[in-house]
Amino acid sequence: MMVAFSSSSLYAATIPLRVLTYNVWGLPVPAEHAPWRYAEIAKRLAAYDVVAFEETWSTKTDVIWKLPSHPYHVFGGQAHGLIGGSGLIVISKFPILESHFEKYHDCDGFECTAGKGALMFRVQLKPGLEVDVYATHTNAWQDQSLVRSGQLMQLVGMVEQYSIGRPIIVMGDFNSEFHSTNYDELQGNLMLRDSYDEYIRGLSNPTQEQTDGFSYDIVKNPWAAPALSHEDHRQRLDYIFYRDTYELRIGVRSSALAFTEAVQSDKPLSDHYAVTTLFDLTTRTD
């Protein structure tokens, strides 16, 4: 919950934190698509402080987390392999003090062969300044909202277990459209703010593309075209939520889709676009 503050003099200097969530579509053989993409992704990560990857099921995705620029990393249990793999890997420029992973209890159909879940990790920006970050990937397909509800309630339980009274960032591929039932129940239960939506609504003249924010775009992204995805409309599925505290104020300086550009053969680097947010974190001085 964002708190109203009467005096900026109560707060110390601001620390910027740029985060990224990216479903890299890292399916293993025989379902993999263009593994050259992973090295290209790795080349483009230096600007981001904390990155959450989804769908790193192929071992060929290892190139994206073995980066000197990001010496800290955590796997969501078994990350690789469609059988039991969560596909979740996070990397950070800042120390990760602790982490906890939970595989989701609820699932449906083929999704049950994977080990999708939620990964909590505590990032230390400097001594005494920590943020709890959650990365997740929930059940796919739009007719699976009840399954996702169970998964999201498990995520809520994790936050209540590990992060009561602490600032949090929650990001990933939620497979939930903007203001769907699943979106609203997660936001409502945890009092989260959608950093992208907040930033775009604050612009004086956003473009239609910015307003839409489609991270899964069957029209502009050839990898997401209906022939491959079997989807019939453009969707916003990937989010970066946050909640601050009285002691640590979090502001959104900017937020945008990322990795949208065509790199090879008029194609971008995944079937999803990434989402990035630049936060400003400010601590109280009293």
Average pLDDT over residues 175-184: 97
CATH number of 13-283: 3.60.10.10
Task: Select the more confidently predicted residue: 149 or 83.
Answer: 149
Indicate if the pLDDT at residue 1 is higher than 70: no
SS3 content of the chain, % helix, strand, coil (to 5): 25, 30, 45
Integer Cα distance of 276 and 235 in angstroms: 17
Residue 165: how many other CB atoms lie within 10 Å: 7
Indicate if the pLDDT at residue 79 is higher than 80: yes
| Assigned token pair, 92 | 């950070």
**Predicted pLDDT at 265:** 87
Cis, peptide link before residue 30, omega less than 30° from 0: yes
Task: Return all residues near 150 (Cβ < 8 A) that are at least 6 apart.
Answer: 104, 105, 106
Indicate if the pLDDT at residue 208 is higher than 50: yes
Task: Select the more confidently predicted residue: 12 or 204.
Answer: 204
What Cα–Cα distance (Å) separates residue 178 from each residue in 125, 164, 181, 185, 237?
Answer: 30, 26, 9, 12, 7
**Predicted pLDDT at 30:** 82
Integer Cα distance of 90 and 58 in angstroms: 15
The number of C-alpha atoms within 13 Å of 215 and in the hemisphere containing its C-beta is: 29
Split at pLDDT 50, 70, 90, the class of 9 is low
The helix (H) or strand (E) run that includes residue 20 is strand 15-23
Among 126, 142, 117, which residue's Cα sits nearest to residue 216?
142
Task: Select the more confidently predicted residue: 155 or 1.
Answer: 155
DSSP 28: P
Task: Select the more confidently predicted residue: 109 or 172.
Answer: 172
| Assigned token pair, 278 | 């630049």
Domains in the chain: boundaries: 13-283
Task: Select the more confidently predicted residue: 34 or 1.
Answer: 34
Average pLDDT over residues 243-265: 96
Split at pLDDT 50, 70, 90, the class of 6 is very low
Indicate if the pLDDT at residue 4 is higher than 60: no
pLDDT tens digits, 34-74? 999 999 999 999 999 999 999 999 999 999 999 999 999 99
Task: Return all residues near 88 (Cβ < 8 A) that are at least 6 apart.
Answer: 52, 53, 54, 56, 75, 76, 77, 79, 101, 117, 119, 135, 136, 137, 172
Average pLDDT over residues 68-94: 96
pTM above 0.85, yes or no: yes
Average pLDDT over residues 2-22: 73
Residue 17 phi/psi, 5° resolution?
Answer: -140, 115
